[in-house]
Amino acid sequence: MSRIVTLTLNPTVDKSTTADQILPDHKLRCTKPKFEPGGGGINVSRALRRLGTDSVAVFPVGGPSGVLLRQLLSAEEIEQRPIETEGWTRENFIVVDSSSGQQYRFGMPGAELQPEEQQRVLRALEELPRHPEFLVISGSLPPGVAPEFLVEVVRAAKAQGVRVIADTSGPALRALLQEGVYLTKPNVGELSKMTGVEELDNEAVADAARQLVASGQSEVVVVSMGPQGACVVSAAGTDYIPAPSVKKRSTVGAGDSMVAGLVHGLATGRSLRETARLGVACGSAATMNPGTELFKKADVDKLYQWLLHTMPAQA
């Protein structure tokens, strides 16, 4: 089994609850809160664990909320390489209105990651017992971290023969692509911003992804197209994967679940066709669960088999 490392620079503790009718100026009676570890790379590690693949989660952590984050990850048997920081780990707050089913998500800013703390992150990656096959860089950047820091991370990883998988956005994603990665998973909006094309239909999405591949910015581009599924582009060609028809209850964690499926597929030696379908199956399965819950393995298996056997590759 290959070794996978996830990097989450802006981790969080997600606190979720439900209330009946969310109205202003009223005291809202909430249900018992649920606490879950969060942040892009951390969610990828959690999803990989559900697929039966181990990974090492690298992340900065601080304060009482940081202690809780580590405890929550330990409870899920996630191997950790935490970097202690002065600032406290952020918390997010999610409330579901039980009368309407609407979800309200309150994202808090992360603490500033100091320059010396950033260097400790780099050292933690360099001092892993053995070099990983894959490094997943996922999630937002906390205050104080410039996109150029990710360039340092990617250069160090590529020098060790590590394949980098990027799932972020904005300047951070542009910096990663300028340095060049193995795989990236933009959505249509992010791809549109990168190419400067406002309206992207299916063919335009594929053309834009081909530009990233041809220019050496990413060997594989998996464009998440929401209800339309995904478009996968590599030097081998183009493949469209439709999203299975499922009852959606929440889209939280769907993107991270999709990345986990892609990484799991690559790490277990699946073809790119199989890997892409596993990614879509994981992302779709995650939408079947309420709140911040990730997918159920049984749902992934069912959707994957359907995609694999009923939906042939399309060029």
Question: What residue segments make up the domains of the chain, in order of their start?
Answer: 4-20+32-310
Give the bridge partners for 36, in sequence order.
14
Could you report the per-residue pLDDT of 34-60, keeping only the tens digit for each? 999 999 999 999 999 999 999 999 999
Give the residue-averaged pLDDT of 87-108.
92
Would you tell me which CATH number, out of the four given (3.90.1070.10, 3.40.109.10, 3.40.1190.20, 3.90.650.10), belongs to the domain 4-20+32-310?
3.40.1190.20
Residue 147 clears pLDDT 90, i.e. is over it = yes
Band of pLDDT at residue 1, cut at 50, 70 and 90: very low
Catalytic residue among 167, 239, 256, 299: 256
Contact between residue 169 and residue 137 where contact means Cβ atoms under 8 Å apart: no
Task: Select the more confidently predicted residue: 272 or 292.
Answer: 272
Collapsed DSSP state (helix, strand, coil) of residue 61? strand
The percent helix, strand, coil of the chain (3-state, each to 5) is 40, 25, 35
Look at residue 200 in the predicted model and tell me its pLDDT: 75
Sign of the four-CA dihedral 182, 188, 194, 197: positive
Residue 2 pLDDT greater than 60, yes or no: no
pLDDT given for residue 171 in this prediction? 94
pLDDT exceeds 90 at position 289: no
H or E segment to which residue 82 belongs: strand 79-84
Q: Mean of the pLDDT values across residues 257-286?
A: 95
Nearest to 265, CA basis, from 236, 232, 287, 289: 232
The yes-or-no verdict on residue 222 having pLDDT over 70 is yes
Q: Mean pLDDT over residues 143-155, rounded? A: 96
Closest to 105 in 3D by CA, of 15, 182, 199, 213: 15
Q: Which residues contact 12 (CB under 8 A, 6 or more apart)?
A: 37, 38, 39, 69, 89, 90, 91, 92, 108, 110
Contacts of 307 (CB under 8 A, 6+ apart): 241, 242, 244, 277, 280, 281
Counts for the chain of helices (H) and strands (E), in that order: 10, 13
* pLDDT tier at 243, thresholds 50, 70, 90: confident
Single-letter amino acid, residue 143: P
Q: Which two tokens stand for residue 191?
A: 């791809």
Q: Has 97 been annotated as catalytic?
A: no
Q: Is the pTM of the predicted complex or chain greater than 0.75?
A: yes
| Of the candidates 33, 35, 42, 91, the residue with the CA atom closest to the CA atom of residue 62 | 91
Does residue 170 register a pLDDT over 70? Answer: yes
